[in-house]
Amino acid sequence: MSSLSLAVTVPAFIPSPSQGVWHVLGLPIRAYALCILAGIFVGYWLGRRRWVARGGSATVLADIMFWAIPFGLVGARIYHVITDAELYFGEGKHPIDALKIWHGGLGIWGAVGFGALGAWIACRRAKVPFLAVADAMAPGIALAQIFGRFGNYFNQELFGGPTTKPWGLEISTDHRPAGYADFATFHPTFLYEAVWNLGVVALILLADRRFKLGHGRAFFLYVAAYTAGRAWIENMRIDTVNHFLGLRLNVWTAIILFVLAVVAFVVSARTRPGQEDIATGPAAGQTPATENPETTEPETTEPEAAADETAADEAEEAAPAKAGSTNGSEFDDGSRD
């Protein structure tokens, strides 16, 4: 009697995606774009829940995000193009490629910076405290970045050096940088950063629940926690980028922002403890008239106005008779020496 054994081969690496673009009715649907859109959606969803939980108006926040999201997308592309200008400008390059955002290339620093600028403009217009909005959206930004990093996976970009670890990422030959053609698997830095950002989300939510972070502290905590991880993950990458004093430009950016965020957090905690009140006023969708109803004179309806006018006329007609009766004469002219 013979026995049949089946062996299931499990690849000792993370396989590359079979494709990153699908064509529907002749239109290209790119996984990178879908990941970015999914990130925006879940990030806004989480930020909205936090904003409403503090008493803010969902409609007010939506109006602010209407400014912040486009600013963020434009800023992300501008940062990438500026810091990697050699990819688009110079001999043999095509500057028009700088506009092809669907090919990848979004800098998180530009996204957060320009997105904050758009939100600040909207907050100024609506008279809403900007730092309260930043605190509400902080974990949502980190959550959005998790989805965005999977766009790098589909594009087979921004990976680390070669590795034989079981979690190594398979990269096809046409996506391997010069000098690495003989290596098949690389460190999946997209996954490292996604896991790190998941921890950042949890850190902010737990710290905010425990300490009620306000006046920008939740946002500053996000910046400090994210940049702490980004610095070492960035150093693992092997894509061609600009260097300064021996370090990748993004590493310097992470270090500088980490220091600034820590300082801002400490200063805010010492000078402005507690949280802003967003349950009343413009942040809650209230106009000045509805904020202090007791200071607003009640409106008079037409029937009430007519009744008041009739009563006033009757009182005026009765006044002479009343005055005459007090002097004992019906026709007293009221003159006295």
pLDDT in tens, 15-30: 989 889 999 998 989 9
Cα atoms in the Cβ-side hemisphere of radius 13 Å centred on 17: 16
Please check if 149 is assigned to a binding site.
Answer: yes
**How many domains does the structure of the chain reveal?**
1
Tell which wins on pLDDT, 210 or 317. 210
CB 169 within 8 A of CB 187: yes
Q: Classify residue 315: in a domain, yes or no.
A: no
Domain encompassing residue 41: 21-289
Sign of CA dihedral 60, 62, 66, 69: positive
Q: Classify residue 223: in a domain, yes or no.
A: yes
CB 14 within 8 A of CB 170: yes
Q: Classify residue 151: in a domain, yes or no.
A: yes
In this prediction, residue 328 carries a pLDDT of: 43
In this prediction, residue 98 carries a pLDDT of: 86
Q: Classify residue 100: in a domain, yes or no.
A: yes
Q: Which residue from 251, 259, 262 is spatially nearest to 229, judged by alpha carbons?
A: 251
Residue with tokens 């920008």: 216
Show the tokens assigned to 321: 């008779």
In this prediction, residue 179 carries a pLDDT of: 92
Q: What is the pLDDT of residues 160-178, one digit of tens each?
A: 999 999 999 999 999 999 9
Q: Classify residue 298: in a domain, yes or no.
A: no
Mean pLDDT of 278-287: 93
Q: Classify residue 13: in a domain, yes or no.
A: no
Mean pLDDT in the chain? 85
Tell which wins on pLDDT, 64 or 1. 64
Question: What pLDDT band is residue 4 in, cutting at 50, 70 and 90?
Answer: very low
Cα atoms in the Cβ-side hemisphere of radius 13 Å centred on 9: 1
Q: Could you give the angle at the alpha carbon of 199 between the alpha carbons of 195 and 205, nearest 5°?
A: 145
Q: What is the pLDDT of residues 83-102, one digit of tens each?
A: 888 888 888 888 888 888 77
Q: Classify residue 252: in a domain, yes or no.
A: yes
pTM comes to 0.81
Report whether pLDDT(309) > 90.
Answer: no
Instruction: Give the helix ranges, DSSP H, for the chain.
Output: 31-53, 58-83, 108-126, 130-155, 189-211, 217-234, 249-271, 288-291, 302-325
Mean pLDDT of 130-154: 97
Q: Classify residue 39: in a domain, yes or no.
A: yes
**Which own/partner pairs from 120-123 qualify as long-range (CB within 8 Å, at least 24 positions apart)?**
121/67, 122/63, 122/64, 122/66, 122/67, 122/68, 123/64
